[in-house]
């Protein structure tokens, strides 16, 4: 019998995560670096928005109308409450994908995003999504899709089937999904201890299973224990999206654009001989053993001439989103850890260290005497953006319009932090998306808004809230038991927040 969940885990709510790749503002740099014309975004849609954190942060911060649906009514209710608090143009439904396609009043979209959906639904729903894109995406519009990919997941497919089979057939009747997951994981540990030939032939499985054991059961439920779970190759995805007249554009993961981080010289040479874009991506996935793809697909690619590309890149405006002292020049790619060139990155970070928006052209002009080229600057911008240290900026008019909504939403999220810690991001009108701000820092922001000016006062305010609820800080894996120890740790955090994080949040119009 078919239920309203259609095989998707609904017993445990989806995580309250924020996924920055869903921010349409990010596509500009990826497209320009790939020599493509990015579209103007006037209407955006997210299919399967979960708890609605991303769609609400983007709806408040971007200055454009957002539309979306999620099948889980509890999640939609929470997301609608966030939208009501901000007052932004965020229009949310609890339709199934099949019903949403038929909903009246939806505009044509310049951007459609899907995170955590494609690999975890059945073929019928995937076809519905393709039909939705075909009908509702404008010419020139883009689709963002993240999905589990082949060949990186190949060895884990039978292991995942084993886990879900145990949970569904061997789990005690009536047990909640989290408990059945624990039972399945326990059985899998016993099997691994028996040293099966499968594990010997696929040593990567043991490492990934070990990592699974450290993860939140809510995450595991949605990642592994749905009825449907299908990693696919980029070729398979391309074949389906062709029905909606989509072509592969580029990766939404900025670090994928840096070949030196991910491919050996021999691999780069091999790829340079492949001119078919999908075949090239497939071979690249084999070289990197790609496990998770984040792709942009376009309904009508428009390529830029080299001069147009350089001019558009120079106009791209960015802002630092971290304190320079917290930015590591070590970055991880498929080949492992690499160290960025201090003589290039140092001057760029120094120039951007006042947290003012600057175009790539302004960076180029300011560093002309350092003999740093445009190509080096663009690569640095990609790397720093990919590591979360840099973000693209919106224009001043959009920032001014959006700040009304982000202020309301951020106040609501910070008020929620008095009693809960699920949402660890706030909305920035400067970058059109979310900024990581943990619960303690949200409480410090509340203290600032109440007129407390000193870090010690922020620490006292936070402890009044935490202590009254019997909550204590954990430091180096140990719970701090005394009031004095908790206050001392909060005071240290507050001082560091004042010196490093608060200036950044103010520059991003969050603090």
Residue 509 lies in a domain: no
Question: Are residues 125 and 35 part of one domain?
Answer: yes
Is residue 508 in some structural domain? no
Highest mean pLDDT among 9-18, 208-217, 420-429: 420-429
264 backbone dihedrals φ, ψ, rounded to 5°: -70, 165
DSSP structure class, residue 166: I
Question: Is residue 268, in this structure, part of any structural domain at all?
Answer: yes
Residues 39 and 105 in one domain: yes
Per-residue pLDDT, 434 = 97
The verdict on 236 and 89 lying in the same domain is: yes
Instruction: Name the token pair of 438.
Output: 């943990």
Query: Bridge partners of 337?
Result: 332
CA–CA distance from 247 to each of 39, 124, 236, 283 (Å)? 14, 22, 13, 18
Share of the chain above pLDDT 70, in %: 97
Domain stop point among 195, 224, 253: 224
What is the reported pLDDT for 128?
Answer: 95
Mean per-residue pLDDT, 392-398:
96
Domain harbouring 143, CATH code: 3.40.50.150
Tokens of 197: 């030939």
Q: Helix 306-315 and helix 374-386: axis angle, to 10°? A: 60
pLDDT at residue 498, as a whole number: 97
Cα 147 to its chain centre, rounded Å, is 12
* DSSP codes joined into one string, 441-504: HHHHHHHHHTT--SHHHHHHHHHHHHHHTT---EETTEE--SHHHHHHHHHHHHHHIIIIIHHH
Domain boundary among 200, 224, 248: 224
First to last CA, the chain: 51
Q: Report the pLDDT averaged over residues 23-50.
A: 96
65 located within any domain: yes
Instruction: State whether 261 and 145 are in the same domain.
Output: yes
Sign of CA dihedral 67, 216, 406, 38: negative
Instruction: Please report, rounded to a whole number, the percentage of residues in the chain having pLDDT higher than 90.
Output: 79
Residue 13's pLDDT is 55
- Closest C-alpha among 192, 222, 194, 221 to residue 207: 192
CB 53 within 8 A of CB 82: yes
Do 140 and 31 share a domain, yes or no?
Answer: yes
Last residue of a domain, one of 178, 201, 224: 224
Nearest CA to 114 among 302, 288, 4, 246? Answer: 246
In a domain, 278, yes or no: yes
242, part of any domain: yes
Is residue 264 left, alpha or beta, with left meaning phi > 0 and alpha meaning psi from -120 to 50? beta
Q: Where are the beta strands (DSSP E) in 124-211?
A: 137-148
Averaged pLDDT of the chain: 93
Please tell me the predicted confidence (pLDDT) of residue 4: 38
Indicate whether 483 belongs to any domain: no
For residues 48 and 111, membership in a common domain is answered with yes
Number of domains the chain contains: 2
- 420-434 residue pLDDT tens: 999 999 999 999 999
Question: What pLDDT is attached to residue 37?
Answer: 97
State the residue range of the domain holding 91: 20-150+229-298
On whether both 58 and 114 belong to a single domain, the answer is: yes
> What pLDDT does 276 receive?
96
Instruction: For residues 118 and 245, state if they share a domain.
Output: yes
Report the pLDDT averaged over residues 196-212: 88
Range scoring the smallest mean pLDDT among 106-115, 168-177, 189-198, 349-358: 168-177
Is residue 73 domain-shared with residue 186, that is, in the same domain?
no
Query: Given this model, what pLDDT does residue 2 score?
Result: 44
Q: For residues 276 and 259, what is the distance between their CA atoms, to the nearest angstrom?
A: 18
Given a cut of 60, is residue 12 above it in pLDDT?
Answer: no
Inter-CA distances, 74 with 50, 194, 475, Å: 10, 42, 34
Residue 224: predicted pLDDT: 78
Q: Could you tell me if 165 and 134 lie in one domain?
A: no
Angstrom distances, CA of residue 96 to CA of 4, 46, 69, 123: 9, 13, 7, 14
Q: Is the pLDDT of residue 11 over 70?
A: no
Give the pLDDT confidence of 415-470 residue by residue, as tens digits: 999 999 999 999 999 999 999 999 999 999 999 999 999 999 999 999 999 999 99
Same domain, 80 and 118: yes
Model confidence pLDDT, tens digit, residues 312-346: 999 999 999 999 999 999 999 999 999 999 999 99
For residue 419, give the DSSP letter: T
Q: Which two tokens stand for residue 492?
A: 């240290």
218 pLDDT higher than 60: yes
In a domain, residue 388? The reply is no
> Quick one: tokens of 248?
């592969």
157-188 pLDDT per residue, tens:
888 888 888 888 887 777 888 888 888 888 88
Residues 193 and 52 in one domain: no
């Amino acid at each position: 019998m078919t239920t309203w969940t259609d095989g998707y885990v609904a017993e445990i709510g989806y995580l309250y995560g924020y996924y920055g790749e869903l921010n349409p503002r990010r596509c500009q740099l990826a497209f320009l670096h790939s020599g493509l014309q990015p579209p103007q975004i006037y209407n955006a849609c997210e299919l399967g928005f979960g708890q609605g954190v991303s769609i609400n942060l983007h709806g408040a911060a971007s200055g454009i109308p957002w539309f979306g649906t999620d099948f889980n009514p509890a999640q939609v209710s929470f997301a609608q409450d966030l939208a009501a608090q901000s007052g932004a143009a965020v229009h949310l439904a609890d339709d199934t994908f099949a019903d949403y396609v038929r909903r009246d009043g939806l505009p044509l979209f310049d951007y459609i995003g899907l995170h955590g959906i494609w690999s975890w639904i059945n073929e019928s729903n995937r076809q519905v999504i393709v039909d939705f894109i075909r009908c509702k995406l404008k010419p020139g519009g883009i689709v963002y899709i993240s999905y589990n990919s082949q060949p990186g997941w190949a060895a884990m497919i039978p292991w995942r089937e084993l886990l879900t089979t145990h949970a569904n057939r061997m789990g005690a009747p009536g047990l909640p999904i989290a408990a059945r997951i624990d039972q399945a994981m326990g059985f899998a540990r016993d099997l691994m201890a028996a040293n099966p030939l499968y594990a010997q032939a696929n040593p990567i499985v043991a490492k990934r299973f070990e990592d699974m054991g450290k993860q939140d059961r809510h995450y595991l439920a949605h990642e592994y224990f749905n009825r449907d779970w299908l990693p696919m190759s980029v070729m398979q995805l391309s074949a389906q999206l062709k029905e909606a007249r989509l072509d592969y554009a580029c990766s939404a993961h900025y670090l994928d654009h840096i070949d030196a981080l991910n491919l050996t010289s021999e691999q780069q040479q091999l790829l340079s001989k492949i001119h078919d874009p999908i075949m090239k991506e497939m071979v690249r996935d084999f070289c990197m053993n790609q496990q998770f793809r984040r792709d942009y697909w376009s309904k009508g690619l428009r390529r830029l001439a080299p001069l147009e590309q350089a001019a558009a890149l120079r106009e791209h405006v960015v802002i630092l989103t971290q304190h320079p002292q917290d930015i590591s020049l070590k970055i991880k790619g498929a080949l492992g850890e690499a160290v960025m060139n201090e003589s290039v990155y140092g001057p760029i970070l120094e120039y951007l260290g006042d947290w003012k928006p600057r175009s790539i052209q302004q960076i180029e002009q300011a560093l002309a005497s350092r003999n740093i080229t445009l190509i080096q600057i663009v690569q640095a911008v990609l790397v720093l953006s990919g590591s979360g240290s840099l973000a693209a900026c919106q224009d001043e008019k959009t920032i001014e319009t959006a700040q009304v909504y982000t202020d309301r939403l951020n106040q609501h999220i910070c008020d929620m932090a008095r009693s809960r810690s699920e949402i660890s991001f706030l909305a920035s009108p400067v970058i059109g998306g979310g900024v990581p701000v943990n619960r303690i820092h949200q409480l410090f922001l509340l203290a600032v808004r109440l007129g407390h000016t000193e870090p010690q006062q922020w620490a006292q305010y936070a402890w009044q809230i935490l202590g009254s609820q019997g909550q204590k800080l954990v430091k180096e894996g140990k719970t701090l038991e005394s009031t004095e120890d908790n206050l001392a740790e909060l005071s240290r955090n507050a001082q560091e927040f004042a010196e490093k994080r608060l200036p950044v949040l103010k520059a991003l119009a969050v603090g």
